Amino acid sequence: MSDEIRVNRPQQPMQGGMQQQPMMRQDAPMMEDGGKKGSKLPWIILAVVVVIIVVVGVLFRNKLFKGTGGEVLGTTTNTMEYQAVFLTNGQVYFGQISNTESNYVTLKDIYYLQVGPQQGSGADVSQSQQSISLVKLGNELHGPEDEMHISRSQILFYEDLKKDGSVVKAIDAYKTNPSGAPIQ
């Protein structure tokens, strides 16, 4: 017997007098619609695997993607140094960050910038300049404590401040002479 696979179908003549037999596996049973039995099974398995991966990803997204996405604060913050914390409302606070793993980040020893008009003298009265001063939190009328608990979702980003930067120098100057007046 030859090595050809024979199917119980009538052979169709081809051009040139040669006959060709269709290639078909004999062990694959045919369905009524002409498709092979079980051809949908790989797609069902693939769909189930994709659904499982999505469910696991949603359930464990915080552990899988720790430190990315919406989490701007990591555990590498040096709490002995000062940071500038930029909030979604445009306000910037300077202080020492702690409790970074909680939903509310703690900021202590807080300062903020206050912009006020500077009165001009002489011919420059029409062009008023603005003065920027650093204010210690707690000296306001309502007398808040020198500690804030800020929602992580309200923090855009933070920056570590250099020890020789203007803000840290102004904070150090305030600590040597805490008169309560804004620092220019």
What Rg value do the Cα atoms of the chain yield, rounded? 37
pLDDT category at 69 given cuts 50, 70, 90 is very low
Task: Compute the residue count for the chain.
Answer: 184
Chain centroid offset of residue 124 CA? 47
User: If 0-12 CB within 10 Å is exposed, 13-18 middle and 19+ buried, where does residue 59 land?
Assistant: exposed
DSSP assignment of 56-105 equals HHHHTHHHHTTTSTT----TT--TTS-EEEEETTS-EEEEEEE-TTSSEE
Q: Is the pTM of this model over 0.75?
A: no
pLDDT in tens, 111-162: 888 887 765 555 555 556 777 788 888 877 787 778 889 998 899 888 898 8
pLDDT in tens, 100-113: 888 899 999 888 88
